[in-house]
């Protein structure tokens, strides 16, 4: 294929009925950060911001089973904020964030305020006393809430047998901190595990996030990750077929939202040595919701092979054009579900 990136970009502008670049920016859109996934950004706030994403001034909880990509999402967001010269407070209660792993997401741990707190009050006291540069966007990342303990558990030999102290401390600290996040326009993003809910009964939720009800109550946005599906790759080495697990796929659901509409879902592909694969899901989205039998951008046929289509997008450096076309199609689909009801009469 001989067309250049410039020609590809012009084609998209010509063939798109309502080019995304002509849409007006929404108020406050400059205070939004991307998750690294176009489809997840749109699922979170696509009807509020042109490209979607997570706005500042709120508490976000990302929860789900082990190895579903929660830490990857936190690092992706923190790395993007650092690239925008934002100020970062990173809490790592599990003390397992690897510097080399963080660099996959352009996150330099040595250049952020990195701590390994033991207890719930340590995390929230730091937030309330934090004094970052007010001219910069500020983000607080905690990975994960499930690893935080209490003074009672740390100091008492018998620990917190009933397990009620954690829930009480989360409630107390969030009650004192939630207004600080809004007033100072901090974005706080926390990961959390899920535990089996033995008291759920036949109709209740089988799994719940630990820490009591306060986290879910005070979160403006809750993202629930599904059980990950392994991605395998096969290679022939010395005449023998060898397979390796190279990543995972998960579905992320907007479980709760005060940002826009809840219950939207987005697929997420995470490759171990790469991070979030936005190109893969964007190409798949365009193919799924069109009549195309190959991977196409504008009127340019890339390939019938997904892997070759990805390589072609990267070769042409057409990631931005691909993203714009996905946003355009997503908005076209979303418009189909707009209410046709008349305004309420006073």
d(CA 301, CA 283): 12
Q: For residue range 58-114, what is the model confidence (pLDDT) as tens digits?
A: 999 999 999 899 999 999 999 999 999 999 999 999 998 988 999 999 999 999 999
Q: For residue range 81-96, what is the model confidence (pLDDT) as tens digits?
A: 999 999 999 999 999 8
Model pLDDT, residue 152? 81
d(CA 36, CA 276): 6
Q: For residue range 139-184, what is the model confidence (pLDDT) as tens digits?
A: 999 999 999 988 888 777 666 655 678 889 999 999 999 999 999 9
**Beta carbons within 8 Å of 50's beta carbon, 6+ residues apart:** 20, 23, 25, 26, 29, 327
**Residue 225: closest CA among 261, 262, 254:** 254
> At which residue do the structure tokens 């392994």 appear?
230
> At which residue do the structure tokens 């004094």 appear?
131
For 291, phi then psi, to 5°, come to: -95, 15
Rounded mean pLDDT of 197-202?
A: 64
Domain ranges of the chain: 31-154+163-278
Mean pLDDT of the chain: 88
d(CA 186, CA 208): 26
Question: Which DSSP string do the residues of 153-200 spell out, in sequence order?
Answer: HHH-TT--TT-HHHHHHHHHHHHHHHHHHHHTTEEEEEEE--EE-TT-
**Residue 262: closest CA among 43, 1, 2, 27:** 43
Identify the bridge partners of residue 267 per DSSP, sorted by sequence position: 251
Rounded mean pLDDT of 33-60?
A: 97
Q: Is 105 in contact with 78 (CB distance < 8 Å)?
A: yes
178-187, 196-205, 221-230, 336-345: range with lowest mean pLDDT:
196-205
Confidence at 340, pLDDT banded by 50, 70, 90:
confident
Res. 241: pLDDT tops 60: yes
First to last CA, the chain: 60
What is residue 99's three-state secondary structure?
helix
- Provide the 10 A C-beta neighbour count for residue 215: 21
Q: How many residues does the chain have?
A: 346
Model pLDDT, residue 151? 82
Res. 207: pLDDT tops 50: yes
Confidence at 194, pLDDT banded by 50, 70, 90:
confident
Q: What fold is seen in the domain 31-154+163-278?
A: Rossmann fold (3.40.50)
d(CA 147, CA 210): 10
**Residue 124: closest CA among 221, 218, 254:** 218
Q: For residue range 243-267, what is the model confidence (pLDDT) as tens digits?
A: 999 999 999 999 999 999 999 999 9
Q: Which helix (H) or strand (E) holds 302?
A: strand 300-303
pTM: 0.87
Using a 10 angstrom Cβ sphere, with 0-12 exposed, 13-18 middle and 19 or more buried, the burial of residue 115 is: middle
294 compared with 212, residue with greater pLDDT? 294
H-state helical runs in the chain: 5-15, 38-45, 70-83, 99-103, 120-129, 151-155, 164-183, 214-218, 278-288, 306-316, 319-335
Q: Is 139 in contact with 89 (CB distance < 8 Å)?
A: yes
Res. 21: pLDDT tops 60: no
d(CA 320, CA 323): 5
d(CA 20, CA 50): 8
């Amino acid at each position: 294929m001989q067309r250049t990136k410039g020609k590809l970009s012009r084609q998209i502008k010509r063939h798109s009925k309502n080019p995304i670049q002509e849409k007006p920016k929404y108020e406050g859109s400059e205070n939004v950060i991307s998750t690294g996934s176009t489809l997840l950004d749109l699922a979170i706030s696509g009807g509020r911001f042109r490209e979607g994403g997570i706005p500042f001034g709120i508490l976000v909880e990302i929860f789900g089973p082990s190895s579903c990509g929660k830490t990857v999402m936190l690092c992706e967001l923190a790395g993007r904020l650092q690239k925008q010269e934002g100020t970062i407070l990173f809490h790592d209660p599990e003390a397992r964030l690897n510097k080399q792993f963080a660099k996959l997401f352009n996150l330099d741990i040595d250049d952020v305020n990195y701590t390994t707190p033991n207890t719930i009050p340590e995390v929230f006291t730091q937030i309330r006393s934090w004094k970052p540069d007010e001219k910069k966007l500020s983000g607080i990342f905690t990975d994960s809430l499930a690893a935080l303990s209490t003074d009672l558990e740390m100091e008492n030999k018998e620990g917190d047998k009933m397990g009620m102290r954690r829930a009480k401390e989360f409630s107390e600290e969030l009650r004192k901190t939630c207004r600080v996040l809004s007033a100072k326009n901090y974005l706080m993003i926390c990961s959390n595990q899920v535990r089996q809910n033995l008291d759920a009964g036949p109709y209740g939720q089988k799994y719940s996030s630990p820490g009591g009800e306060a986290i879910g109550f005070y979160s403006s946005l809750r993202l629930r990750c599904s059980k990950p599906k392994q991605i395998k790759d096969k290679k022939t080495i010395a005449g023998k077929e060898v397979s390796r697990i190279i990543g995972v796929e998960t579905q992320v659901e907007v479980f709760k939202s005060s940002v826009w509409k809840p219950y939207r879902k987005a697929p997420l592909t995470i490759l171990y040595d790469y991070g979030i694969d936005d190109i893969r899901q964007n190409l798949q989205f365009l193919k799924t919701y069109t009549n195309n039998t190959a991977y196409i951008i504008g009127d340019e046929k890339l390939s019938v092979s997904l892997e070759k289509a990805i390589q072609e997008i990267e070769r042409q450096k057409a990631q931005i054009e691909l993203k714009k076309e996905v946003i355009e199609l997503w908005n076209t689909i979303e418009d189909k579900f707009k209410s046709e009801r008349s305004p309420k009469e006073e």
